[in-house]
Amino acid sequence: MGEHGFRLHLRAMVLLLAAVPLVLAIAAVVWVVRQQSDQLAQAQISAMQPILLQARKDELQHFVQSGRRAVAHLYEQRAGNQVQAQQQALELLRRMDFGNDNYFFVYDLQGNSLMHPRLPDFEGHSQWTLRDSAGAPIIQQLVRQAQAGGGFVDYMWNRPSTGRDEHKLGYVELVPEWGWVMGTGLYLDHLQETQALITRSTAAAVRKTRQQILWIASAALLLVAAGGLALNWYEQRAADAKLRAMAQKVVHSQEDERSRVARELHDGISQQLVSVKFVAESALLQLERGNADAAGTLRQGIGLLQGLVRDVRRISHDLRPTLLDDVGLASALAQTAREFGERSGIQVEAQVAEVPPIPEAAATAMFRVAQEALGNIEKHAGARHVQLQLSYGAAGLGLQLRDDGAGFDVQATLRQARSGLGLTNMRERIEMLGGTFSLASAPGATVLTAQLPAAVLKSG
């Protein structure tokens, strides 16, 4: 082998030694991304399912209670008019549906169907022995649950819009004045739809990331072949930087998605609108019948609308803290603390240092942490006094909140999917910017501390 052939062979060996580790590293990254994405999808599904199910339960209970309020004025009818009053109540409930697949139903304690908008042939006949496709006695379960104080029942039921038996969650309450079992139900296909959406979104993100990684690997291999070991080393470092940037972009995208879903789950606007609809229909029926209670019902509807307006304003404010743009972080925190004290009745001592202009991401993170912490104190702590301190100096920007509430087990709360979500979000906001977050709690003293280094405040 001549000298030229030896150099070619050596170059090939060097290129091979440079390319093989790169190919293996890319394959390992692709595998890790896939595994982490699958785990994240499962974690999201596990966290979302109990929240969605509880939201459905709250919605069902709200519907039934609204229906009871709508016919409550008929309970007071004289004995001679009881049959007429019951018929009026049944007709009112028959009209108060909310979609093709969602409606009220009424049975008596013997299982006789008194009103079913989608199955009129049931009315006037006993359904006591009716069973679903799994063999469960549906009406017996509904009656027993109503007699036990009301509650939820899972069963299979034919869906009007599809004609198929599907999983349904029902909620019933007893109307003791007439011995009625009043209830409604919702189909639970949204749980499977949410799970499928998360799975599809994760799979699409994995495919896109894999394609980007493969593109980077191909580019790096071409540069290795053209420039040798030095150029390969340089390009591999650039590829690693791009991978880190992509990972951060994925984290931001997932955070935005979780925030959007959380806002939708906590949005009670649709439920309040249904309540207003029910009250308006009840007032209309009372006006048509010349009932003097119509004015009181309308006043109730106006009160519900006022609450709806307040919720819309609150939600629009939570979507974007405009205070930060208008007055800056220090003044925004001071005003938020003052409004919190006025609203909750909790004494707030705020010590807020002047803060020069800082990057928007840092100001937003600190404001959101303080906002979330104050909300948790108001809902759960039972505190009488809160201290809020914002400091700024050579060490960076610091935020500390201390309350004298009941305290809680921090680690146990973080392990719970629903209650630990807010704490996890606060920690992620600070740590994503390179800061530190700590939380210590005991009866009478809960202290939250967030710190952003000076380097973060000077960047951007």
The whole-angstrom separation of Cα 174 and Cα 153 is 14
Mean pLDDT of residues grouped by 10 in the chain (460 residues)?
Answer: 48 62 74 72 69 81 86 69 85 82 90 90 91 90 92 88 84 90 84 70 72 73 64 62 54 52 52 69 75 74 70 57 73 87 88 87 88 86 90 90 87 67 80 89 90 79
pLDDT at 177: 85
CB atoms within 10 A of CB 136: 14
CATH of domain 323-458: 3.30.565.10
- CATH C-level class of 79-187: alpha beta
Plot region of 419 (φ>0 → left; ψ -120 to 50 → alpha; else → beta): alpha
Distance between start and end Cα atoms, the chain: 58
CA distances in angstroms from 95 to 13, 84, 117, listed in the order given: 81, 17, 8
The whole-angstrom separation of Cα 175 and Cα 183 is 10
Beta carbons within 8 Å of 311's beta carbon, 6+ residues apart:
268, 269, 272
Hey, what long-range contacts does 88-93 have (CB within 8 A, 24 or more apart)?
90/114, 90/115, 92/281, 92/282, 92/285, 93/67, 93/182
The whole-angstrom separation of Cα 242 and Cα 238 is 6
Contact in structure between 216 and 239 (CB atoms under 8 Å): yes
pLDDT at 261: 41
Count CA within 13 A, CB hemisphere, residue 125.
9
